[in-house]
Structure 1
Amino acid sequence: MTDTAARPAADSAAPPPPPPPRGFRGGPWGTLVAIAFGVVMVALDGTIVAVANPDIARDLSASLAELQWVTHGYLLGLAVFLITSGKLGDRYGHRRVYLVGVVGFTLTSIGIALSGAVPVLVGFRILQGVFGATIAPAAMGLLRSNFPPHMLGRAFGVFGSILGGAMAAGPIVGGMLVSAFGWEAAFLINLPLGAVTVAAALWLIGPNRATDPASRLDIPGILLLSVAIFALVWALVEAPVVGWAHPETLAVLAVSLAFGAGFALWQARAADPLMPLGIFRLPALSIGVVLMVLTALGLMGSLFFVTFYLQGVRDLSPMQTGLQLLPLTLMMGVCGTPAGRVMDRFGTRVPTVAGLLTAAAGLFLLSRLSLDTGVVATSAGFLLLGIGLSLVMTGATAAMITAAPVSLAGVASGLQQTAMQLGGSLGTAVLGAVLSLVIVTTLPGHFADAGLGELSAAEAREMQSAVSQGGEVLGSAQGATAEAITRASNLAFLDGMHLAFGISAAVMVAAAVLAMFMKPQRHDTGSEVPVVHI
């Protein structure tokens, strides 16, 4: 393999002066306001759907596996299309792609609400994920191309605050809508939101402008990457169910590896590649990808079990659970804007490292949760985690997107979002396997300590699924025996959760060390990226 690098002229020269100020309509801040509506719509949808799942299960008689695909189907559509949609935005204009995404997301939401069967609903969810994948990269591309470099940190900070606020409001809004109107309202709310979003985009965003109009679509690259990501996400979703060593899991992982290798080889030879491999020679972008995967692995993987702890072990209601999580979601909304200002002044490395260490401290506190941990102690862990998550997302995202040339802003944003999705899926799968293994290992000991008799390994494996969700298998047991089984099950769950949070904290510390080497570069529209030849 031989490498040749075309060094951007912007690296050796001072950044170009910011463009002359424009009015609110068609200007940077008008663009930010317009895309905020789309971001809120997608963020609300994610958290509202979680609240609606029990009602969907009852109304459509969905099994647990079918209900999981209500979430997994959206994830597949989203992950597979993120990078491709970013390239479409670079090629045809982010304003145009953003509008297509919003309209498609709205129409598929209506289709979901009108679905009378689970397969139809899951099909629309997959399609909704495809359209949802166009919104975030297009929004980031619009920010990158409209804001001058010295204001990008502030823009990404405000963007992060809006996203965090929407996530904080989601469980509360979702609870009210589902309680008052049924699960269909969780999706029909996107109809008025979508109409307002389209109107705001048409009014506030300037004329459509492609940042890379001369490029051609890399159809072979799109197909190779899509199959590789689809197979990887499928394996991560199904492995916890069928087993990591199951032939189906191994075969799908092999398909992902083969198509991923084929994609890399093709990108090195393609005249107009979907994702030029040279962008990974930009330190801020390559390190940012790893940070996004590690952050999502630790944070999203751990948070997957928090609901089981709060509702299963602590016996909180869904509304009480949402209120307990408010310190986390509110900090994500509050800290984004200050983080952006810090980033404009000191660069992306400072807030990113500080965020990772803060998140590690929060995860460590959460690894000490017990059967009777109070609200204050639990909230302290979530508070630190929310602050850390906000700082990391603002810093690492900005580092990746500002490192790439403006002509590849959409691709860089799609790459950032894909890393987040894959990291989250990997974290859920890996930490879920850790949790299950610890439960099977420690449950017999807790049963023996409670005087419940000897529990065989086979019986522990049978109980593992229920215990992993913070529940217990009582059977016909009542009274003191039922209380002893519940306590033993909860203690085994806590053993697994403690280790999962401990691993997540260690991952955050390792990511903080890596972030110390992050030195973002800024490029103007005419910048090139290093070219890799194989």
Structure 2
Amino acid sequence: MTTIAADAPPSPPARGLRGPWGTLLASAFGVMMVALDGTIVAVANPAIAHDLGASLAELQWVTHGYLLGLAVFLITAGKLGDRFGHRRMYLIGVVGFALTSVAIAMSSGVAVLIAFRILQGVFGATIGPAAMGLMRSGFPSHMLGRAFGVFASLLGGATAAGPILGGVLVSAFGWHSVFLINVPIALAAIGLTAWLVGPNRPTDAGSQFDLAGIVLLSIAIFALVWALVEAPAEGWGHPLTLTALGLALVFGVAFVLWELRAEEPLLPMNIFRSLPISIGTVLMILMALALMGSLFFITFYLQGVSGLSPMQTGLQLLPLTAMMAIWGTPAGRLVDRVGARLPTIGGLVASTVGMAMLARLTPEIGWVYTSIAFILLGVGLSFVMTGATAAIMTSAPVSLAGVASGMQQAAMQLGGSLGTAVLGAALAMTVSRTLPGHFAAAGLPKPGPDEVAGMQSAVSQGGAVIPDGASAAVADAVTSASHLAFLDGMHLSFGIAAAVMAAAALLAWFMGPKQQEQVDEGSDDSTAEPVLHL
């Protein structure tokens, strides 16, 4: 008996550009808008704080609120796309994202701005799964890797352009412009979709909404992301952090138990019987944990320890972002040719080496060394993201393309939040442990526990707390000791990230070799893998 995966029924012949690549072009504009927003806003934060009088905590929620809206709604948005059609949900997401961008730009208070940022995250969550669903149903299986590779290149370019474009816009037009720039991009996405993308076709039109599953999953993800966001400030042992983690666990378990008995579940649990889907999802979490968690601190090193300006920091990071933009397409072609396993393993090995190099940074290491490490990371991550995404999306039924895409993107969001929280905690604890010793070695009075606690936040961001009236020699000694303590913590964080990447490479081996060409049967949308038994 031979098992062959099923393929979606063939679509009507495309006319002109109204084919798979036209669909990719139209959907890429919306996803690039979301990716651009993720990096361009960081440049505007100081101007927002100055103009609206935002505190540090409020400024953090400008980012955290967007993250919450995005993470909580991703899988539900994917299900909506399967049910009502990905073209329709994509357009709703693009229009909503543009309108909330205008509302944010017109906000006169930080509370209103944060509220619209949360809503913008919800619309952003609608765009990603819908775009992936359009690609999954539009491209034949043997071309999906190439399509995802091109997609990754476009996203890498948008991410790389964010800080540079943001700096130009804020300098010339103020912080409002970094949100208003989304309007012309959205108009281009809407026009291209109307021109290039065929009629709206739901892939799971007969399904019912799993309202209980949506509520349980939304509460679980909200509680988990909130805990991960607040833990670095409140502390892991704080009652609010523990309560949020407890809620996430309780509602997460309740969601799984409900999905196992629901007639039409939001996320069919038997989809995880597919090793490519299960392992691909775990790889997304581990990759985002290592990457986002460690690179969150590299800017502190470049600006605080190395003394680079924000623009110089962006240029120093260019080898990373440029490699992700350049290598996405070749990675996709290789995935189509040999399958996802070997390119993913190779990418994880390259990423491990790059991360291990970053774990050996010192104040004296020059830009050549860091550039080589960033190049290895950029090339490696291109293969990992393309391979893991292809493994998930090509193994899921077309009828669950939106849900699978939402799950893949939610895994990245949760992994990034987990990495920032966990690796940040490791860095902060190391700073507290080693700072007194570095002060003593520099001939300075050894600080007590209360003094260390007061300096920990600044030192963990690559800075130093200089006593009032300190001489230049004392200031230099305090700065040097603080930087050494920061590097101790950063080395540990990058070392953990490299170990996570290495473990992920071992796990990727079990994804299995290249699958045979497959066609989607679509007769039973609840099955884990669409198959025909011959």
Where on the TM-score scale, by shorter chain, does this alignment land: which range? Answer: over 0.9
Q: Report deviation, 1:358.
A: 0.5
Q: 1:248 aligns with which of 240, 247, 254?
A: 240
Partner of 1:516: 509
State the one-letter code of the partner of 1:506.
A
Partner of 1:364: 356
> Quick one: structure 1 residues 178 and 88, their matched pair in 2 at CA, closer, same or farther if it must change by over 3 Å?
same
Q: Does 1:459 align with 2:459?
A: no
Partner of 1:487: 480
The SS at the match of 1:245 is coil
Q: Does 1:392 align with 2:384?
A: yes
Q: Report deviation, 1:457.
A: 2.2
The SS at the match of 1:516 is helix
Inter-partner Cα distance in structure 2 for 1:17 and 1:212:
13
State the one-letter code of the partner of 1:488.
A
Give yes or no for contact 2:4–2:519 (8 Å, CA) kept in 1: no
CA offsets per residue over residues 6-42 of structure 1, 9 Å max, x none? xxx9934686897675234331011011011112111
Inter-partner Cα distance in structure 2 for 1:260 and 1:512:
27
Q: Report deviation, 1:455.
A: 1.4
Give yes or no for contact 2:146–2:332 (8 Å, CA) kept in 1: yes
Partner of 1:3: none
> Quick one: structure 1 residues 17 and 231, their matched pair in 2 at CA, closer, same or farther if it must change by over 3 Å?
closer
State the one-letter code of the partner of 1:409.
A
> Quick one: structure 1 residues 232 and 17, their matched pair in 2 at CA, closer, same or farther if it must change by over 3 Å?
closer
Give yes or no for contact 1:301–1:424 (8 Å, CA) kept in 2: yes
TM-score by length of 1: 0.96
Give yes or no for contact 1:285–1:404 (8 Å, CA) kept in 2: yes
**Correspondence list, 1:49-448, <5 A:** 49-448=41-440
Give yes or no for contact 2:64–2:229 (8 Å, CA) kept in 1: yes
The SS at the match of 2:511 is coil
State the one-letter code of the partner of 2:416.
G
CA offsets per residue over residues 390-423 of structure 1, 9 Å max, x none? 1100000110011110000000000000000000
Give yes or no for contact 1:298–1:504 (8 Å, CA) kept in 2: yes
Inter-partner Cα distance in structure 1 for 2:152 and 2:523:
27
Inter-partner Cα distance in structure 2 for 1:444 and 1:523:
63
Inter-partner Cα distance in structure 1 for 2:322 and 2:439:
39
Q: Which runs of 5+ in 2 are unaligned?
A: 530-534
Give yes or no for contact 1:11–1:523 (8 Å, CA) kept in 2: no
Q: Report deviation, 1:262.
A: 1.1
Q: Report deviation, 1:45.
A: 0.9
Partner of 1:4: none
> Quick one: structure 1 residues 287 and 191, their matched pair in 2 at CA, closer, same or farther if it must change by over 3 Å?
same
Inter-partner Cα distance in structure 2 for 1:530 and 1:37:
32
Q: Report deviation, 1:54.
A: 1.0
Inter-partner Cα distance in structure 2 for 1:270 and 1:131:
27
Inter-partner Cα distance in structure 2 for 1:197 and 1:96:
13
> Quick one: structure 1 residues 268 and 13, their matched pair in 2 at CA, closer, same or farther if it must change by over 3 Å?
closer
Give yes or no for contact 2:28–2:154 (8 Å, CA) kept in 1: yes
State the one-letter code of the partner of 2:500.
V
Inter-partner Cα distance in structure 1 for 2:14 and 2:195:
15
Q: Percent identity?
A: 67
> Quick one: structure 1 residues 295 and 192, their matched pair in 2 at CA, closer, same or farther if it must change by over 3 Å?
same
The SS at the match of 2:200 is coil
The SS at the match of 1:416 is helix
Inter-partner Cα distance in structure 2 for 1:383 and 1:59:
38
Q: 1:471 aligns with which of 460, 463, 478?
A: 463
Inter-partner Cα distance in structure 2 for 1:471 and 1:362:
25
Q: Report deviation, 1:211.
A: 0.5
> Quick one: structure 1 residues 16 and 375, their matched pair in 2 at CA, closer, same or farther if it must change by over 3 Å?
same
Give yes or no for contact 1:94–1:138 (8 Å, CA) kept in 2: yes
> Quick one: structure 1 residues 443 and 107, their matched pair in 2 at CA, closer, same or farther if it must change by over 3 Å?
same
Inter-partner Cα distance in structure 2 for 1:332 and 1:24:
30
Inter-partner Cα distance in structure 1 for 2:273 and 2:64:
33
Inter-partner Cα distance in structure 1 for 2:195 and 2:2:
33
CA offsets per residue over residues 41-96 of structure 1, 9 Å max, x none? 11111110011111111111111111100000000000000000000000000000
Partner of 2:37: 45
Give yes or no for contact 2:396–2:528 (8 Å, CA) kept in 1: no
The SS at the match of 1:102 is helix
Partner of 1:5: none
Inter-partner Cα distance in structure 1 for 2:9 and 2:446:
74
Give yes or no for contact 1:281–1:530 (8 Å, CA) kept in 2: no
Inter-partner Cα distance in structure 1 for 2:315 and 2:6:
48
State the one-letter code of the partner of 2:34.
V
Give yes or no for contact 2:331–2:383 (8 Å, CA) kept in 1: yes
Give yes or no for contact 1:153–1:343 (8 Å, CA) kept in 2: yes
Inter-partner Cα distance in structure 1 for 2:339 and 2:253:
34
Q: Does 1:36 align with 2:28?
A: yes
CA offsets per residue over residues 322-369 of structure 1, 9 Å max, x none? 000000000000000000110010001111111111100100111111
More deviation, 9-18/298-307: 9-18
> Quick one: structure 1 residues 21 and 364, their matched pair in 2 at CA, closer, same or farther if it must change by over 3 Å?
farther
Give yes or no for contact 2:324–2:378 (8 Å, CA) kept in 1: yes
Inter-partner Cα distance in structure 2 for 1:11 and 1:405:
15
Q: 1:25 aligns with which of 1, 12, 17?
A: 17
Give yes or no for contact 1:10–1:527 (8 Å, CA) kept in 2: no
